Structure 1
Amino acid sequence: MAASIAYQTHAFRSIGTSSAPLASFARFVVCGGGVGLASSWLLVLLADRMPPALAAAGVTVVSTLLATELHGRFSFRSEHTGRRRHLQSALTVAAASLVTTGALLCLHALRPDPGAIWVQSVYLGASAAAGVGRFLVLRAVVFSTGSHRFSTGSHRARSLPGGAWSPPAERRGAAAVRASEI
């Protein structure tokens, strides 16, 4: 029984506390915000040396690669980034861009001359929503670990008689409670 309590305590700690996603989100905001600020300064520096569209495209590619590495290592504490994760992260950037662009297009459809306050409000609101969505996708899909991945079927812990529970089959070890021991 003591082994069961020890395993349950370990399992609870491995799931994390409620602050773990908030800490991860804070790191996500700091990394993404830092890369965003650095990118804007780089864009200003490059704008005089090359066509603005080319400078913007180059800065976008470099900043996306850098942000993906930072998010992987610091925001989500992942050891490996790799090409697949870079591609998935780039797709979340593209989706976020579609959200902000769509929001501005809707604003201009509803108000042909919206003014700077409306444009900034809609853009910042859409950017915040897209950022939260991007964080959720990166956390749940791109940089997921066993503890972040959504559970399905055989990955769920099972309840046993008497209120005890059994960990998923792939994580059962000597400390796991067997139904016959209860």
Structure 2
Amino acid sequence: MTARAPLPTKRTTSPLVMAFVRFVVCGGGVGLAAGGALVLLGDRVPLVLSNAVVTVVSTVIATELHSRITFRSERGGWRIHLRSGLTVVVSYAFTTAALLVLHAVQSAPSALVEQTVYLSASAVAGAGRFALLRLVVFAPATARPAVPATAGPIAPAPAKPVVVAA
């Protein structure tokens, strides 16, 4: 009698990996659309103004997509948008700092080196932003134990008498 080999089990991808893939697809899609919007606005609106408007609008859209698709969260509202916006500010500061350090170390870096530093810093900032969004912004609300409505304040435990040896 021969033993049957176990049937192969179906491999499933980690929910964390799938959330990260959705994060990249949603964020990348919004980023591409934002780049296109900048090109369209470039001739009509000053670059600084169009970049500011596109950044705010794309951040709001990306936050909604991340809430609904990436993290499948029930949370919403302006507080979520503000927190998500703060992660964008942190990412901007990180990539800017990376470029400033590059220019402090090398006075005239080539375009290839500059882009390599920028894209590397953007990748690290994106991973950090994913972690912040997942763990802070869209984290499920912690369950608090229910306190009965009739319960009053909790009385402190009586102090234990101190015995001093003579």
Please state which band the TM-score falls in when normalised by the shorter chain. Answer: 0.7 to 0.9
Specify the SS of the correspondent of 2:73.
coil
For residues 18 and 106 of structure 1, the distance between their equivalents in structure 2, rounded to whole angstroms, comes to 38
Aligned partners of 1:27 and 1:43: how far apart in 2?
24
> Which has the greater radius of gyration?
2
Secondary structure at 2:92's aligned position in 1? helix
Q: How far apart are 1:18 and its partner, in Å?
A: 6.9
Select which of 100, 110, 118 maps to 2:113. Answer: 118
Over aligned residue pairs, what C-alpha RMSD do you find? 1.9
> Structure 1 residue aligned with 2:44, among 49, 72, 80?
49
Q: Distance in 2 between matches of 1:27 and 1:21?
A: 10
The CA distance in 1 between the partners of 2:73 and 2:96, in whole Å, is 31
TM-score by length of 2: 0.77
**Structure holding more helix per residue:** 1
Partner of 2:77 in structure 1?
82
Aligned mates of 1:144, 1:80 — CA distance in 2: 9
Q: Unpaired runs of 5+ in structure 1?
A: 1-16, 150-154, 156-168, 171-182
The offset of 1:145, in angstroms, is 1.4
SS at match of 1:32: helix
- 1:93 corresponds, among 88, 91, 95, to 88
Q: What amino acid maps onto 2:77 in structure 1?
A: G
The amino acid that maps onto 2:90 is: A
Structure 1, residues 126-169: CA drift from partner, whole Å, max 9, x if none? Answer: 000000000000000000116xx7xxxxx8xxxxxxxxxxxxx9
Alignment partner, residue 60 of structure 1: 55
What is the SS of the residue equivalent to 1:101? helix
User: Which residue pairs with 1:8 in the alignment?
Assistant: none
Q: What is the number of residues matched between the two proteins?
A: 135
Residues 94-131 of structure 1 deviation map (CA, whole Å, 9 limit, x = unaligned) = 00000000000000000000101110100000000000
The residue type equivalent to 1:140 in the other structure is L
What is the letter of the counterpart of residue 34 of structure 1?
Answer: G
- What code does the residue aligned with 1:39 have? A
Over residues 46-70 of structure 1, what are the superposed CA-to-partner deviations in whole Å (9 max), with x where a residue is unaligned?
Answer: 0111111100000000000000000
Identity of aligned residues (%): 56
* Distance across 1 between alignment mates of 2:82 and 2:41: 25
TM-score (normalizing by structure 1): 0.71
Return structure 1 stretches of 4+ with deviation > 3 angstroms.
Answer: none
Give the letter aligned to residue 36 of structure 1. G
What residue is the counterpart of 1:12 in the other structure? none
